[in-house]
A and B are shown apart, each in its own frame.
Chain A
Amino acid sequence: MNKTTAITVAAAFALAFAPAAAAAECKNEVWNKVQKRGKLVVGVKPDYKPWGYRSESGELVGMEIDLAKDAAAKMGVEVELVPVQSSNRMQFLEQGKIDLMIATMSDRADRRKITGIVGPNYYTSGTNLLAPKALKLRDWEQLRGKPVCGKQGAFYNQIVEQRYGAQVVAFTGNAEAKQALRDKKCIAFVYDDSSIVADLASGDWGEYEMPMATEDDNPWALAVPLAERDCVFGRFMSGMIYNWHRDGTLAELEEKWGIQPTTFLRGQKERFADWIK
């Protein structure tokens, strides 16, 4: 491709698809919209117990839902919860279907280009396996060449494939992936360690274990629309997270929802502690 063509093509793309150049000033469109309609629309997980799931009455509940409600309460607006999947959560935010996303998302460099991820991180999880005890899996290398169930949208599917040569069969939802594991269509389910711990604690997985040393520990992030990141909404959510750490809200919620206490939260609480006791 010669230079002129390249420039022409690039120009065509620029005209056709380019998003408005990064706005220098803050328009705060989403923030104002939320205030005006008196309702904050938050994207949360419907199938990630106990962070975000449906209760027996079909209501969305969980640790992240509590966070969403707290954010809305501090803004002085109602909250509306929208269930999202790993594979569509960023698009929902981009397209304005939700104003805020608190959906167990790992904080990755590529994701920061698309969504307005704000710090500090509010949780963390790493990669581990849900595997039958009978298989005595102890080493990630044992996955080489074996079928491993996974879920579409998890960033570590690719890592497990490339690093350990596992054949990841990725389903659209957790339920399908777990069913395939129970049907012995794969030797393990690769997923977040935090979720696996919760599954094991539920008592439905007696014959299974989480055998590996957790890998690729990756903090979670919530996100606002990209244009709002460095404006009122982004700064507000940063402040929310900071206070959730500082006043121990996150640790309390962890306990409320029966999640094993993480060293991450303890560390963050110390990090953000008030110097006046």
Chain B
Amino acid sequence: MIDAAAAFFRQLAEEYPSWNFIFLYEKSQWEKVVGGFWMTVKLSAVCVVFSVVIGGVGAGMQRAKNAALRAGVASYIQFFRNTPPFVQLLFFYFALGQFTPTYSPDGWLEIPVISNVGWAVISLSFFAGAFNVEIFRAGAEAVPKSTEEAAESLGFTRLQTYGYVVLPLAFRASLPALNNNLVNLVKTTTQAFVIAVPELLYQSQTIWNDYPSAQNPMMLTLFLSYLALVSVVILGMNKWERTMRIPGYGE
């Protein structure tokens, strides 16, 4: 079956030179596609988790009594939300990368402790995190003031009120907007290409550079892969939304 499919695509490439699905019949190219896909999945998953955590913590800090803390969050949001992720990646990797500690496996190389993948995770998580802070803040503002006052009257501290009462309710209200932002985050991982993170776009471009005849198939593959990845994110988020539903709240 697999051999037959390989033979079919080999034949297809012969007959239609611009439809060379090379990765379906050549092992080394297949490995590139699979490797790139996994890198994209891992990068997306890690960034989604970090950005949500950053969003939750940031929204909490925005409510802090300490003015410096609030100013810190505000400037963080301004910086990361108002600069393109593409520029952030370049800046982090090439500019800040020169100041991070390095180690040398052979006496010459100076491998930074934060690799290009590391910078991609940092940059993309903070980028999406900045939006998440705003999303959670909007959610927190949807929680009635009286609910907070009720918690306070029961003897909850500010932090406890936020952690046990406001955030759980705010989170539910935030899910639709969060959904959008996380979908965007998954798509933005392609920009890690610029600092040579071997994700799906990087590997696809490498393949179509080596085999120009494979460009259309690779673009089709990219398109379908992201469609599939984003669908998984959306399905997961919808399921989550349903699971966390509180009867009578937000309906």
Contacts and interface: CB of A to CB of B under 8 A. Distances in A.
Contacts of A9: 8
A83 B112 CA distance: 33
Given A162-B28, A172-B193, A90 B4 contact: no
Contact of A13 (B16, B102, B202): B16
A187 B206 contact: no
Interface of A: 1, 6, 9-10, 13-14, 17-19, 86-87, 90-91, 110-111, 113-115, 132, 134-135, 146-147, 152-155, 157-158, 162, 169-172, 176, 179-180, 183-187
B212 interface: yes
A135 B108 contact: yes
30 contacts: A1-B1, A9-B8, A13-B12, A13-B16, A14-B16, A17-B16, A17-B19, A86-B209, A87-B209, A110-B210, A113-B17, A114-B17, A115-B212, A132-B108, A135-B108, A147-B111, A157-B209, A158-B210, A169-B196, A170-B202, A172-B193, A172-B194, A176-B194, A179-B94, A180-B94, A183-B97, A185-B110, A185-B112, A186-B109, A187-B109
B188 interface: no
Given A1-B5, A6-B8, A134 B108 contact: yes
B18 interface: yes
Contact of A114 (B102, B116, B213): B213
Contacts of B216: 17
Q: How large is the interface on B (under 10, 10 to 19, 20 to 34, 35 or more residues)?
A: 35 or more
Nearest to B112: A185
Interface of B: 1, 4-5, 8, 12, 15-19, 28, 94, 97-98, 102, 106, 108-112, 116, 193-196, 202, 205-206, 209-213, 215-216
A271 B146 CA distance: 92
A170 B206 contact: yes
Given A183-B97, A184-B110, A152 B16 contact: no
Contacts of B4: 1
A171 B213 contact: no
Nearest to A226: B17
